[in-house]
Copies of this chain bind each other. A is one copy, B any other.
Amino acid sequence: MKVIERPVLKKTGYKDIKREVFNRIRKNEWPPGTLLPGEVELAAEFGCARATVNRAMQELSDDGIIDRKRKGGSRVNLAPVRQVTFEIPLVRAEVEGKGATYKYELLYNKTDIAPIWLQDQLSLSAYSRVQHLRCIHFADGKPYQYEDRWINHSVVPLASEFDFSTISPNEWLISEVPYTNAEVRFSAISAEKYVATALEVNVGDPIFRAERTTWLSDEPVTFVSLYFAKGYEMVAKY
């Protein structure tokens, strides 16, 4: 008589523990507020080392599912802090990712003293020299995104010499000043004349706008306003 072969029983890894704990939480076996068993106890239950349990619980904590405190133990979060994560691709990558042809065009490029509002925005000293660029990104020949950017020359002096007629400031900056900190603000605005013209929409049409300020360890690098074409949607799953 033939013995049915079974796949070898896999050892419980941290992922298994993470899934199992999460399931118990989701099934309300451990409702919000519950004090979970300690790491030692869980390790005993799952028959593994404490370090393995620790990793699983750490990740659940990172994911905002549970809250951990020394001595206090781990508790199921009362108000799960849902967080959405968006990837911020290069415009070019975004356009090409949709299967469209990307085109870029420089509209304006001038270096001068920073206007007052920008000094405020970037905490610049008076008379700082900044480069002002305006450009537009196309998808299949149609305007996709209008970009209005200011670059701080005291941090990125090389910008003055670079030819932005073929490479967009976005792309150049990423290669030149990688790993910056940034703040983004998304909002809905009404298209004013200049933007409306560039994006080929009517004045007053609703526009999805992203404003981003970027620093290289406390030094302001650039401020950019991105105006998206009509119908643009920013999507995320979580």
Query: Residues of A with Cβ closer than 8 Å to B?
Result: 22, 25-26, 32, 65, 79-90, 93, 174-175, 178-179, 181-190, 204-209, 228, 231-238
Given contacts A182-B238, A185-B233, 6 further A-B contacts (CB under 8 A): A22-B179, A81-B89, A83-B88, A84-B184, A187-B233, A189-B206
A22, A83, A85, A236: residue with the most chain B Cβ atoms closer than 10 Å = A236
- Chain B residue nearest in CB terms to A230: B188
CA A232 – CA B206 in complex, angstroms?
13
Whether B234 and A208, one on each chain, are in contact in the complex, defined by CB atoms closer than 8 angstroms, is no
One complex includes copies of this chain to the number of 2
CA A80 – CA B87 in complex, angstroms?
10
CA A190 – CA B191 in complex, angstroms?
11
CA A25 – CA B179 in complex, angstroms?
9
Chain B residues with Cβ below 8 Å from A22 are: 179
Chain B residues with Cβ below 8 Å from A80 are: 174, 178-179
Whether B84 and A85, one on each chain, are in contact in the complex, defined by CB atoms closer than 8 angstroms, is yes
Chain B residues with Cβ below 8 Å from A88 are: 81-84
CA A238 – CA B215 in complex, angstroms?
11
Whether A184 and B235, one on each chain, are in contact in the complex, defined by CB atoms closer than 8 angstroms, is yes
What are 15 inter-chain pairs, A to B, with CB distance below 8 A? A32-B178, A79-B90, A79-B93, A81-B87, A82-B88, A82-B182, A85-B86, A181-B238, A182-B238, A183-B238, A184-B237, A186-B235, A187-B232, A188-B206, A206-B207
